Chains A and B, each alone.
Chain A
C-alpha cells in the first residue's frame, strides 16, 4: 500500500507462532517485528490525533514462508542482539498495514501501527500454556490471532537468556520470573510508546492509553498525580515500572519447569541439580504446613511414630513422596505428550543426548507400543521368515514394549528367549515346537515315574522329595493376587501335602509340574527359591505348560548364575554395581561407603528376580521383554538398578546414614515405582557410561601427565560435609562388610580411573556367563 520503498526493521524476533488449530502440525512459524516507516509516508490514518509521533511504527508479524529472499535479512536482525540502538540499519520490504483482522484463512501476516493498538493481552508461559502468548487488540476493536513465543527455538531469546545468565548467574531468581519472549516485546514497545499495565487485568497492557483509558483500566487513581501524563514524564513512568524486571511474571512453579527445560537445551545440566534443589525446597517451602516443616527440621520428634523403623527412613520416604507427588501433579497438568516426554527427560537433567540423537518425534515414535499387526509385518507372509534385522526388532521392543493384550507376547517372547531362532521359517518353528512338546512330556515323565514307583536310592528320593516340598511351598505363595493363580477350586491331588487342606488350582499344579521338570532338566542347579517368581509371568503369558517351560528354560539360561550354590553370580553383579556407582556417581559412592553400604546387598532381591517384587505385574512383563533384547547390554538390569539409585540419591545422601536405613528405604520402594521413567533414565545412564568408558580409554592412549592428578570437583566438598576424607571413609569401611575392591578403589579416588573388567563386561551384548544354550 505504501510504495515500494523499503522500511526499516528495528526489532525482530523469530519463532513466534500462530496456532491456527489445536494441532501442533498446523502451527505457522514467523517473525514478530517492530518496523519504522519513512516519516514521509502518509498513513491511511485513523491515527489518534493526540499522538502524531507514533504512526510510523508498526508492530508486525510475518510467516517465515512468505518472506522469500528477505528471510536472510530477518534472521540477521533477529540475531543482531540486544543493543538498544542497532548499529546497522536493516531494510526490509514493507508489509501490508492493517488495522483490522478479518481474513483468518489466507492472511496471517499483518503489521499494525502502534497508534492503532489499543492493548496487548500478554500471557506468560503457565501451567495451561506451555508457550507464552500475545494478542493485539486494535482501537477498531479487532483481535489478531494469538502469537505464541516458542522461546526454546528462538535464537535471539536464547542469546538474551545467556546474556542474563552471564550478568546475574541466575536468570531465574529475579523476582520469581523467567525471561521470555513476551517480555522482550514489551521492552521494545516501551521505547516507542507508552505501555501501561492495566490495574484491572494484570495481563492487559494498554498502549498509549488516553486519559479515559487510564481512568478505566490503568493504574489506580491514588497511585499518583494523573494530571501529569506518563508520557510527559517518561523517566518517572519507566522508574515506576522498573522495566528491568519483566512484568509478565510466571508462576514460580512454571518457572522451575521452564528452567529445567532450559538447562536441557543448554546442556548444562547435571543429573543432580533438579532433585537436590527440589528436596531443599521442600524443607523450606512456606506452602508446606508448618507442622510438617517442623518434622523435617526436627527428626527427633518423628521418632514418636512407632510404625516406622527410624526417623530418617521415614523422613526420606516422605521427602521422596512429596517430590513424586509434585512430579505427578505437574505431569497431569501439562498437556501434550511432547511436553510429557520433555518433562520426564528434563527432570532427570541428563537427556540432552537422547534429545539430540533422536529428535523428539523420533523418540515418541520409537516409544510406541509394538502391536501384533506390526510384529507380523516384520515377517514374510509366505515363508514366515524375518524380513528386517534382528537389531531393528529389538530396538522396537526395547523402546516400545509389546502390547500386553493382543497376544503378540506369546509369539515374540519365544524369539527373545531363544526358543525360536530369529532366522527360522514358520515351518521350522512348527517342527521345533512339536519336538519341544514331546521332549517336555518325556522330561516330565522322568520325575513322575520316580514319584510313583520310587525306583531310586533313598537319598536321591529324599532330595527329590525335599525339592518337591520346596517347590510346592513356593508355588502356593507366588503371585496369588493374579487372578490366574488365585483360585483354590480343586482338591489337592496329594493328600499328604501340607497344602492338602487349602486346595489348589490347575495353574498352580502346572507351575509345580514345570518347576519339577526343570529340577529334572537341570539337576546340577535344581530348584532354587526365586525361580517360581521367574516362571509365573511366562506361564501367565503363554498359558501352555510345554511352551512356557521352554521359554522358562531360555530365561534360566541367562538367570542361572543368580542361583549358583556359591552365589558367585550374585556377588559378581553386586561387585559390578559397586564399580558402576563408583564410576558414575563418586559422591554417592562415598556416602554409601560411610554408611557401610557398598556391599549393595539392598539390591539383592532386585537383581535375583529382576525386579519382580518391585514393580507391578504389568510393568514386570514390560521390563523383562526390554531386558531380554540385550539391546544396549546384556547387563542392562544393572543400569535399572543405577537408575533407581540415582533417582533416590539425594534422599539417600541427605537422610540415610546406616546400612539398615538404606536397606529399609530401598526395600520399601517396592511397588512405589513407575517403570517408564526408570527405563528412560537407565537408557540415558547407559549412554553416559558408554561415553565415560570411551573417554577414559582415549585418555589412556596418551602418556600420563607428570603433575598431580586433578582432584575431581565435589570430592573435597563432599568429604568435608561428611567429615571423612575418601581415605578415611575407605578405612572405615574396611573393617565393615564392603567388598574387597572398595578399599583400594576409594584410596585411589584421585588417581585416573581404570575401567575394571566387571565394568567392561557391561558393554557386552552377548551373555558372557551363559552356558551353551540348551537346544
Chain B
C-alpha cells in the first residue's frame, strides 16, 4: 500500500444508487466522493489503543480485548464540514520490538495518534520515542508539519492513581509544535468522538497540503469499476 492514496467509492444517496446502472456523470462523483484517510495509532502496550479504536468505530467497550499481535484496522466514515471522509484506522502491537515489521503501516499515514495511559508514567515518557520512530519510519515529506494527536487514556481510573497531570501532558504537546491533546476514557466513552473528529480534520488537512504541493496533480479518472483512485477532494 505504501504511499498509495486510497479512495473507496461509496454510493451514498438513493438517486446515486440508481445511477450505478449506467455510467454516471463524472461531476456528481467528484462532488460527493469521500476521501480515504489512513490513521495509525501508536503507544505502549496496554494503554488502550484497541479499546479507543473500537469505542470510536463500534461504540463498544470490552474489558477482554487480547493483546494485539500483528496489526489490524477498522474503517469509519465521518462527515467533516459536509465532506465525507472514510478513515482507515490502524491498530498495532504495543511492544516496541514488533514495530520493526510494521513499517508498512507507517507509510502513507495521514495522521498519527500517540496514546498513553494517564496512570502509567512510563507510557507517557515513551511518547517522544514513538513520535521519533514514526517520523523515521514513515519519513513524511514535511516532518515538522505532519499531524499528530496525543491521547491520554484511562481517565476513568480513580484520581489518586493518576501519574501524569494534564498540565504536564499539555506542556509536552506544546513543545512538539502544538500537538492537539485529548484526555479520554475508552471505557466510558469520554471525549473519544471529539478526539477522532480532530484526527479526521488533521488527516484531511494533511491531504490538502500534499495536494497543494502538486504530488497528485494528474487528472483523475473515476469509474465505478475502478474503485480505488486518487483522492479528488
> Chain A interface (Cβ within 8 Å of chain B)?
298-301, 303-304, 306, 309-312, 466, 469-470, 473-474, 477-478, 480-481, 498, 502, 528-530, 532-533, 563-567, 570-571, 596, 599, 601-602, 604-605, 608-609, 613, 657-660, 663-664, 667, 735-737
The complex places the Cα of A648 from the Cα of B144 at a distance, in Å, of 43
Given A303-B11, A664-B73, CB of A529 within 8 Å of CB of B67: yes
B136 contacts the other chain (Cβ, under 8 Å)? no
Cβ A658 vs Cβ B4 within 8 A: yes
The interface bits of chain B over 56-68 (1 if a CB of A lies within 8 angstroms of the residue's CB, else 0) are 0000000111110
Query: Is the Cβ of A667 less than 8 Å from the Cβ of B72?
Result: yes
When A303-B11, A530-B69, A604-B70 are in contact, do A659 and B64 touch as well, CB less than 8 Å?
no
Measured between alpha carbons, how far is A311 from B226 in the docked complex, in Å? Answer: 12
Q: Are A528 and B73 CB-contacts (below 8 A) given A303-B10, A737-B2? A: no
CB of B66 within 8 A of CB of A473, answer: no
- Answer yes or no: B149 CB below 8 A from chain A CBs: no
Q: How far is the CA of A308 from the CA of B217 in the complex (A)?
A: 31
Name the B residues within 8 Å of A563 (CB-CB): 97
Given contacts A470-B95, A477-B67, 8 further A-B contacts (CB under 8 A): A301-B20, A470-B45, A477-B65, A478-B67, A498-B157, A529-B93, A533-B66, A564-B97
A310 touches B64 (CB 8 A): no
Instruction: Give bound CA distance, A667 to B70, whole Å.
Output: 10
What residues on A are CB-neighbors of B97 within 8 Å? 528, 563-567
CB of B71 within 8 A of chain A?
A: yes
Tell me which residues across on chain A come within 8 A of B72, comparing CB atoms: 663-664, 667
The reply to whether A309 and B73 contact each other, CB–CB distance below 8 Å, is yes
Total inter-chain residue pairs, C-beta < 8 Å: 124
Q: How far is the CA of A567 from the CA of B97 in the complex (A)?
A: 7
Find the residue from A300, A567, A571, A605 having the highest chain B CB count within 10 A: A300
> In the bound complex, do residue B64 and residue A477 qualify as a contact, i.e. CB atoms below 8 Å apart?
yes
With both chains docked as a complex, state the minimum distance between the C-beta of B12 and any C-beta of chain A, in angstroms.
8
21 pairs, CB–CB < 8 Å, chain A vs chain B: A300-B224, A303-B9, A304-B11, A304-B17, A310-B75, A312-B227, A474-B46, A474-B67, A477-B67, A502-B63, A528-B95, A532-B67, A533-B66, A533-B69, A567-B98, A571-B101, A601-B71, A601-B104, A602-B70, A613-B66, A663-B73
* Contact residues in B for A470 (Cβ distance below 8 Å): 45-46, 95
Distance of A571 Cα from B102 Cα, bound (Å): 12
Decide yes or no: A529 and B45 within 8 Å by CB, A477-B66, A567-B100, A613-B66 being known contacts.
yes
Beta-carbon nearest neighbor of B50 in chain A: A477
Contact indicator B69/A609 (Cβ below 8 Å): yes
Contacts of A474 in B (CB 8 A): 45-46, 67
Once A298-B20, A300-B20 are accepted as A-B contacts, the answer to whether A567 and B101 lie under 8 Å apart by CB is yes
Q: What residue in chain A is nearest B117 (Cβ atoms)?
A: A498
Give the complex CA separation of A602 and B72 in angstroms.
9
Which applies to chain B's interface (DSSP): helix, strand, loop or mixed? loop
Place the interface of chain B in its size category: 35 or more
A304 touches B10 (CB 8 A): yes
* Top 8 closest pairs, chain A to chain B, by CB: A605-B70, A604-B70, A473-B46, A605-B69, A659-B1, A309-B75, A529-B95, A737-B104
A477 to B119, CA, bound (A): 19
On chain B, the residues within 8 Å of A477 by CB distance are 64-67
Given A605-B70, A736-B2, check contact A659 B104 (CB 8 Å). yes
Q: Which of B66, B74, B119, B161 has the most CB of A within 10 A?
A: B66
| B94 with A303: CB separation less than 8 A | no
**Which chain B residue has the least Cβ–Cβ distance from A657?**
B228
CA A605 – CA B120 in complex, angstroms? 27
Chain B residue nearest in CB terms to A478: B66
Q: Which residue of B lies closest to A607 (CB)?
A: B70
Residues of chain B within 8 A (CB-CB) of A659 are: 1, 104
Residues of B within 8 A of A310 (CB): 8, 75
Task: State A533–B46 Cα separation when bound (angstroms).
Answer: 16
- Is B77 an interface residue when CB atoms closer than 8 A count as contact? yes
With A596-B2, A735-B2: A300-B11 Cβ-Cβ less than 8 Å: yes
> Which of B9, B69, B157, B227 contacts A613 (CB under 8 A)?
B69
Is there contact, CB below 8 Å, between B69 and A604?
A: yes
Report the separation of the CA atoms of residues A469 and B17 in the bound assembly, to the nearest whole angstrom: 52
Q: CA A565 – CA B20 in complex, angstroms?
A: 51
Contact A658 B1 (CB under 8 A): yes
Does B83 have its Cβ within 8 Å of any Cβ on chain A? no
Partner of A529, one of B10, B12, B98: B98
Q: Are B64 and A481 in contact (CB under 8 A)?
A: yes
